[in-house]
Structure 1
Amino acid sequence: MCKLYTLKRSLAAVLLASSTLLFSIASSFAQSPPVLTFTPVITTGFSSPLDIVNANDGTNRLFIVERTGKVRIVSAGVLQAVAFLDIHDSLPPGNENGLLSMAFHPNYASNGYLFIYYLTSNYDIRVTRFKAANPLANTAINQTTGVVIMTIPAITTSFHNGGKMLFGPDGHLYFTPGDGSPGGDPDNHAQNGNILWGKMIRINVDNFNTAPYYTIPADNPYVNDPNVKDEVYAIGLRNAWRWSFDRLNHDVWVADVGEAAWEEINHLPLSGSGGINYGWRCYEGNDDFVTAGCLPPANYSFPIFVYPHNNATGGFSVIGGHVYRGIEYAALYGYYICADYVSGNAWLIKPNGSGGWTTSMQTGLPLSIVGFGEDENGALYAVTLTGTLYKVTTNSGGPLAVSLLEFTARAFTGYNELKWKTANERDILHYEIEYSDDASRYAHAGKISALNSTVENQYSFRHLVAGFEKLFYRLKTTAKDGRVTYSTVLVLNRKQAASVKVSPSPVTGGQLKFITEKPVGMIQLFTTDGRLLFRRNLENSAGSIAISLPSLPKGVYLLRLKTKEEYLVEKVVIQ
């Protein structure tokens, strides 16, 4: 799993990078999202943990799935010495292999049944059922109770095995094999309905006594389609390593690990999640990948949120989480929380009340987060491959009393100038400028006391630096009660790879014009939270180009131009 991501291609231009950066975020910071805190619970004793599960049996225990073949019990915050399950002798070596997930039957407390998802020594995917003699005790499972429910034969050397297994609110077992491909899905496994790789599977496992120990739910969406196996519930997934059901409304949240450029989060109501084609390999995120032989775009379900492959504003391997429904942290309630395995960035996603989504990113969180899980009360936990179990918390009692109107960075000879504007300041202690050369490890550059005026406040800070190629800046705001929040990260380049001029500014009348030095193959228009609104193939045009836009609300958008060598991104204001 530690190589969920594959760095096959680098993004030539970092999104939003230029010698002068401006990000107008008045509306999003008026209601600041909570600040996540990852509080260590257990720091030693695990061996490559991957997944966190509860049994919903009234004990509130956590079960930690280790890639090396064991399931460990955490009871009242203490790691138990005896392994709950140990199948290490049955597993092959390799980073994406091993014991990947488990799920407890909805009636586990009375029937003792649990299910595991793992790779065999032949690299087949296997689902096996075990039975606990005393379901509520912290005693080891007798391995002789194991019964194989399903084996999915390997089609390549082990890659993209997916892995998350869950019981749905309907009582059926769901799991998500990856596309089984070493990269790019060259054999189009995810779109091939005759194999189970690259799919979401849904089966009824209540057939406890008669082989094959599962049946096909009558309402599975493809039971009458001769071109798709009956077990399939949805198709078109690359590597849905971690996904979840919202425990309140049962919505489906699928995080699909990307290939070369984009990581994606998909959301659907449970009632509309069957028969869905998530689009891989026709699309990666919202971008075309290999569209030859694909259906029109309306036949696919596109993600609600994507982030790019870089350490500053994105990452390289999305780790799906959960919608927080716990009772301890009201500020987190209703937010879907996910993270990136590589970059240490995390995102909070929530409906905006008008059919869209608000998203915010937080940097500087633990690296190698590989799985999230809930306890019986909805408390959220995360685990790293290196062996630390965290509880996801917040010190945010509510939004900070400040609106960040503007945050800019500009390079000068010998120093970089950071400026920001605020309004509605109350009980703010100070602002801190933090910087990094790798978007992972941040250092303190300076601190300025807050003015605490409700009118517009203007601040500036000069960061003395020698020569540099690229620096990342963020603004840390600290309230008098100790709560903190971070701005969006700014990326400051000494040189800009290419130039593009957009006019008019702001754009009016639905007509956008831009001048580019390099031939442009495609343009795309995104909302600032990553939703694709418009795309057009320009067939490598250069010079002055005019585009008619669809009718759009007034606001700030991101225009992305794809050249042969790089992506260019410009902010566009539409009136």
Structure 2
Amino acid sequence: MITYRCFSHLLKLTIMIHLDFNFYRPFRTVLLLSFFVGAVSKTDAQPVLSLTPVISTGLNQPMQFVNAGDGSNRIFIPQKGGTIRVYDATFNYLSDFLTVAPIDANGERGLLSMAFHPNYSTNGLFYVYYTTTAGDLELARYQVSSGNTNVADPASKVVLITIPHPTNTNHNGGELHFGSDGYLYLSTGDGGGGGDVPNNAQSTTVLLGKMLRFNVNTSATAPYYTIPPGNPYSNEIYDLGLRNPYRWSFDRLTGDMWIGDVGQDSWEEFNFRASAATANVNYGWRCYEGNATYNTTGCAPASSYVFPAYTYASQNPSASVTGGVVYRGTAWPLLQGWYIGADFYSGIFYKILPDGLGGWNVSTQTIAPTGIVDFGETENGEAYAVSLTGNSVFNIGSSTVLPLSLISFTATAERNGTELNWKTAREENLIQFDIEYSMDGNAFRYLNTVMAKNSVTGSKYSFNHNIAYSGSIFYRLKMKDKDGSFSYSGTVQVKMDNAAAGIITPNFITDGMLHLDFKGVNNYHTLELLSMDGKVIMKESIAGATNNIDFDISNLSAGLYLTRLSGAGSSHVQKIFVQ
């Protein structure tokens, strides 16, 4: 999808099509046409996830699933209260590896993460991240004991850094991973509360709301790390603009970074950072939540930020994203290359795969249990999920169905609106197509439902959207299966040029007044002013008006808005920009 966050983007808007669901700015133009856009998108076989319990007793608020990478195939399970349990390759409990103390384990606090040094098999070093009794965030290093590889030496503890976390108890982050560059990465939350009032996430000196990077290989004395070359601000900060990146991971094959960033009130994020990206990526918080503006005071142009690969609404029961892993094991070939994440509260799992065109295929599946707090990998790349509330660990497996092969989806501008056509080559277990549309490529709204013919040889479909509009409209199909899962088609975009658009002029408003000019003809009875996410800001009756009407909108913040004129059996939507 393409989202335009400023009027300069709007002015550059042409006829475009992109098969992405959500992606980075600046956008990439795939096809330029006049009044017709076409897309061909094939939905591959969707893996159906299965969860098999491998540890269901003995755990108390497990937080993470970690392997040591030392060839032993052991699994380490940090628990919120501070104790780390160690299991053999078949999940037999071996011993308590270490109890990290003292810590505060109330609320969102506790032992949050651990990571083993890439040379753990020879140096025995590992790192833990936790909240102190003062509520601060601390990164410490330990070493395994010399006499027992299943027990760490508590006396070996050294503290690398303590990050002040004043006032609030939430949004601590965070997870530790070593990158292919040998450096240690740590995600931190923005300091909590609501709305990041201090704007920590955008600060280049505060270590909250960041992805931090440490060189832990160069110093044997305090602070036991140095700042890696390439960190953009000559401190620990590597990337910025995160709210609460509680769980994240590296793709072990490509080195790409995936971050699950917990949203404020509206949007949960899966962020993607290609391994080739340089430092100083800004993920946008608090300027943006998901793809929507949140608080842009003092913010840079939208092109300065990297927007999520995929977002979903924070609506009951979904409320908190848990970042996952890209499956690179061998036991489940159909899962190969799929990124798997989840929502902590709803039990909805998100499966994301590159579509080969610069975007993503996304499907969902609801699985018990809820409370998924982490996704981890064994040494050979098999994926596991940890349930905090269920005190359990699950192996992630897969089967597959072939619900749909979508071979084309097009949108054509017609006299009275848009004609949508799509064609399938195969349908199985399919219920319906929900048509969704958007004026900005970001906030999609339900339009109508077309029931599936469910033909194994494929079918053709069409739908007419009667709308008077001048500008670009985005469409996508939400394809629903009988098992309750769904996936999205690619997004198509069409430019409309309707004479009714001249009613509201100009669409670039500099005087704080919304001007309507009916030129003697008025087929509408209501004017609505909406935010770009569809919230009604103003509603006025215009029935009977045939000449000019002005409305005072000087109280609005600068930005993009939608106007909607409604009449008997017709509507006209137009985008405006308020300076």
Report how many residues are paired: 435
* Matches of 2:130 and 2:313, distance apart in 1: 30
Post-superposition offset of 1:221? 1.7
Structure 2 residue corresponding to 1:158, chosen from 158, 169, 182: 169
**Aligned-residue CA RMSD in angstroms?**
3.4
What residue is the counterpart of 1:100 in the other structure?
112
1:333 aligns with 2:346: no
Distance between the aligned counterparts of 1:365 and 1:290, measured in 2?
36
**Secondary structure of the corresponding residue to residue 174 of structure 2:** coil
Distance 1:210 1:516, change over 3 A: farther
Deviations 1:448-480 (CA, angstroms, capped at 9, x unpaired): xx997536599xxxxxxxxxxxxxx96436xxx
Q: Match of 2:322, SS?
A: strand
Q: 1:271 to 1:512 in 2, by over 3 A?
A: farther
Query: Which residue pairs with 1:192 in the alignment?
Result: 203
TM-superposed deviation, 1:32 = 2.8
Match of 1:219, as an amino acid? G
**Are the aligned partners of 1:524 and 1:536 in contact in 2 as well (CA < 8 Å)?**
no
Q: 1:181-223 deviations in whole A, cap 9, x for unaligned?
A: 2111111111122210111110111135211111011221222
1:376 and 2:379 are equivalent in the alignment: yes
Following the alignment from structure 2 to structure 1, what is the Cα–Cα distance between the partners of residues 362 and 335? 13
The equivalent residue for 1:537 is: 560
Q: Residues 508 and 311 (structure 1 numbering): CA distance in 2 closer, same or farther, change over 3 Å?
A: same
1:349/1:517 CA distance change after superposition, 3 Å: farther
1:240 pairs with one of 241, 245, 255: 245
Partners in 2 of 1:486 and 1:293 — Cα distance? Answer: 41
Whole-Å Cα distance in 1 between the matches of residues 257 and 107 of structure 2?
A: 27
**Residues 522 and 58 (structure 1), Cα distance of their counterparts in 2 relative to 1, 3 Å cut:** same
Could you tell me how far apart the structure 1 residues matched to 2:92 and 2:157 are?
24
Does residue 130 (structure 1) correspond to residue 142 (structure 2)? The answer is yes
Query: What corresponds to 1:522 in structure 2?
Result: 531
SS in structure 1 at match of 2:152: coil
Residues 512 and 547, structure 1, Cα contact 8 Å, conserved in 2: no
**Residue 432 to residue 261, structure 1, CA distance change in 2 (3 Å):** closer
Q: Judge conservation of contact 1:510–1:548 (CA < 8 Å) in 2.
A: no
Tell me which of 38, 52, 55 is aligned to 1:42.
55
5+ residue gaps, structure 2, are: 1-38, 408-421, 433-452, 462-478, 502-523, 535-557
Instruction: Output the CA distance in 2 between the equivalents of 1:97 and 1:353.
Output: 40
| Paired position in structure 2 for 1:69 | 82
SS of residue paired to 1:367? coil
Given residue 221 of structure 1, which amino acid in structure 2 is its aligned partner?
A: P
Contact 1:512 1:546 in 2 (8 A): no
CA distance in 2, matches of 1:275, 1:423: 43
Partner of 1:476: 482
Query: After superposition, where does 1:148-297 map in structure 2 within 5 Å?
Result: 148-223=159-234, 230-297=235-302
Asked whether the equivalents of residues 560 and 575 of structure 2 are also in contact (C-alpha less than 8 Å), the reply is: no
> Which structure 2 residues correspond to residues 367-406 of structure 1 after superposition, within 5 A?
367-386=370-389, 387-396=391-400, 399-400=401-402, 403=405
TM-score, normalised via structure 2 length: 0.68
Deviation per CA, 1:359-415, whole angstroms, max 9, x where unpaired? 11112342110100011101000000121100111023xx5275589xxxxxxxxxx
Residue of structure 2 equivalent to 1:572 = none
1:319 aligned residue:
322
Distance change >3 Å, CA 56–CA 318, structure 1 → 2: same
Contact 2:563 2:574 in 1 (8 A): no
- C-alpha distance in structure 2 between counterparts of 1:509 and 1:222, whole Å: 46
**Structure 2: how far apart are the matches of 1:290 and 1:54?**
40
Rounded to whole Å, the distance in 1 between the matches of 2:314 and 2:403 is: 33
Deviates more, 1:246-255 or 1:263-272: 263-272
The DSSP-based 3-state class of the residue aligned with 1:144 is strand
Deviation at 1:311, TM superposition (A): 4.6
CA distance in 1, matches of 2:150, 2:114: 17
* Separation (CA, whole Å) in 2 of partners of 1:251 and 1:506: 29
CA distance in 1, matches of 2:527, 2:388: 43
- Give the drift of 1:355: 1.2
Distance 1:274 1:516, change over 3 A: farther
| 1:81 Cα offset (Å) | 4.8
Q: In the aligned structure 2, how far is the partner of 1:340 from the partner of 1:355? A: 25
Whether the 8 Å contact between 2:243 and 2:263 is mirrored in structure 1 is yes
In the other structure, the counterpart of 2:359 is 356
Amino acid at match of 2:236: E
- Return the alpha-carbon distance in structure 1 between the equivalents of residues 565 and 304 of structure 2: 32
TM-fit CA distance, 1:154? 2.2
